[in-house]
Chain A
Amino acid sequence: MAEEILLFGAWGSPFSRRVEMALKLKGIEYKYIEEDITNKSPSLLKYNPVHKKIPVLVHNGKPVAESLVILEYIDETWKDSPILSKDPYERANARFWAKFIDEKCLSAIFKACWGEEKEHEKAVEEASELLQFLENELKEKRYFGGETVGLLDIAANIIGYWLGVFEEASGAELLTREKFPKLCNWANEFVSVSAIKENLPPRDKLIAYLRNRFGVGTTSK
């Protein structure tokens, strides 16, 4: 049976890039559809009527939404190059930190980069506390997933690439080598993996977009 895999995404979104990273890691062919999130297509609204957001993966006509849900679906459907361990405790751990990144880290990072000036120091401190948890979680591993890139590495793409871009666009300093040597090493390893590298939005284009959308940031020089 011919498989049809569609992915509705947006070039700058770490969430839709996560899905592409997983598909590429597993060598899965798919058709990518770029959405203009200011002018959502009828197809997107049909496939994700609840949230009306990207990414949406459509597999043989059946839609799956929410990036972390999609990652698990991909891992369960295409079993080559697994992104989750077989061990239940390690799986729970990866899921815990992925949720932590989505629920806590992104908004804290955002506040530190584009929040109010008088709140800036506090915002940096809060974001740093969160990053410290991830620094500790990495321990001596090459990737969060161990020897190979796993679900948590993919979920941490925000930290691995987008954070650096946010910093450059806004002038904020968060992921420094002094404070987070392990995370910095991990970020370099992460973006060097070919399935990841091929799926990173161009840096300059992203910086221009962010500055245009959110301003030049509280601490731009």
Chain B
Amino acid sequence: MAKNDVKVLGAWPSPYVMRPRIALNIKSVNYEFLEEKFDSKSELLLQSNPVHKKVPVLIHDDKPICESMIIVEYIDEVWTSGPSILPSDPYDRAIHRFWAAYVDEKWFAAMKGLRSAQGEERKAFLDRVIEGLALLEEAFGKCSKGKAFFGGDRIGLLDIAFGSFLAWLKVTEKVNGVKLLDEAKTPGLVKWAERFCADAAVKSVMPETEKLLEFSKFLAAKMKGAPPPKN
């Protein structure tokens, strides 16, 4: 298949953009990565995702697919000759989808809150993040059944959903001077994180922590230096 049949519109710091890239790597699908500039949105992006105007967007044979986890499921359904990303059992699939939704809607929301919060609020967000990790540690035990990943022997949907946040998690640990993944409290996840980051499908698209940390400082400075909102 020609390389330009599959394009991903994205940005290197985005955990959401990592997701379809990992999925395409798992399936050994060649694709063209079109990097969006930081402060402006390309015509192609605005045309392909008029509703949200956000990355990632997968463009397959000129058809756009939006929303990172929806793209991952699409990739799994189209490229069936590669390893499966979703489990085959409907109940296991439901569990992966449930926790993927939890990671996006509850856990990462708390992580984002932690990034911008001050004082007392910070402690509250930190507690929520840590509680969430405890739940995910438990989920890991149940889903992996002693194997390497949430998906079993290989990376699955939930590995992708949660693992894509690991670079930001490391940045958050550095910025806040806390350990979020901890050998004592979340031993399963600590080992899982190492395996995930080292996986061939992930390594090439996971941003380096230092680079992301710099970007995070740049973002924070930009937000502070932003002109006051007009009334």
Interface residues of A (CB under 8 A from B): 50, 59, 62, 64-66, 69-70, 72-73, 76-77, 88-89, 91-92, 95-96, 99-100, 133
Q: Which of B60, B65, B97 contacts A72 (CB 8 A)?
A: B97
Contacts of A77 in B (CB 8 A): 90
Flag if B91 contacts A133 (CB, 8 Å). Answer: no
Q: Which of A59, A64, A73, A91 contacts B77 (CB 8 A)?
A: A91
Flag if B66 contacts A96 (CB, 8 Å). Answer: yes
Interface window among B38-46, B67-75, B184-192, B215-223: B67-75
Flag if A89 contacts B63 (CB, 8 Å). Answer: yes
- A120 shortest CB reach to chain B, Å: 20
Contacts of B71 in A (CB 8 A): 92
Q: Please, what's the 1-or-0 string for B54-94, where 1 marks a CB less than 8 Å from any CB in chain A?
A: 00000010010111001101100110000000000011011
Q: Which of A72, A91, A96 contacts B93 (CB 8 A)?
A: A72
Flag if B98 contacts A66 (CB, 8 Å). Answer: yes
Q: A66-B101, A69-B101 are known contacts. Are A88 and B93 too (CB-CB below 8 A)?
A: no
Flag if B70 contacts A95 (CB, 8 Å). Answer: yes
- B63's nearest neighbour on chain A, judged by CB, is A89
Q: How far is B62's CA from A89's CA once the two chains are assembled, in angstroms?
A: 12
- B47 shortest CB reach to chain A, Å: 15
Flag if B74 contacts A92 (CB, 8 Å). Answer: yes
Flag if B94 contacts A73 (CB, 8 Å). Answer: yes
Q: A50-B135, A73-B94, A96-B66 are known contacts. Are A88 and B78 too (CB-CB below 8 A)?
A: yes
- A72 shortest CB reach to chain B, Å: 7
Flag if B74 contacts A88 (CB, 8 Å). Answer: yes
Q: How far is B98's CA from A133's CA once the two chains are assembled, in angstroms?
A: 27
- B89's nearest neighbour on chain A, judged by CB, is A76
Flag if A88 contacts B90 (CB, 8 Å). Answer: no
18 A-B residue pairs with Cβ-Cβ distance under 8 Å, sorted by A, are A59-B91, A64-B94, A64-B98, A65-B98, A69-B94, A69-B101, A70-B94, A73-B91, A76-B93, A88-B78, A89-B60, A89-B65, A89-B74, A92-B73, A92-B74, A95-B73, A100-B51, A133-B51
Q: How far is B94's CA from A95's CA once the two chains are assembled, in angstroms?
A: 14
Contacts of B70 in A (CB 8 A): 92, 95-96, 99
B102 at the interface (CB under 8 A from A): yes
Q: Which of B93-112 contact A (CB under 8 A)?
A: 93-94, 97-98, 101-102
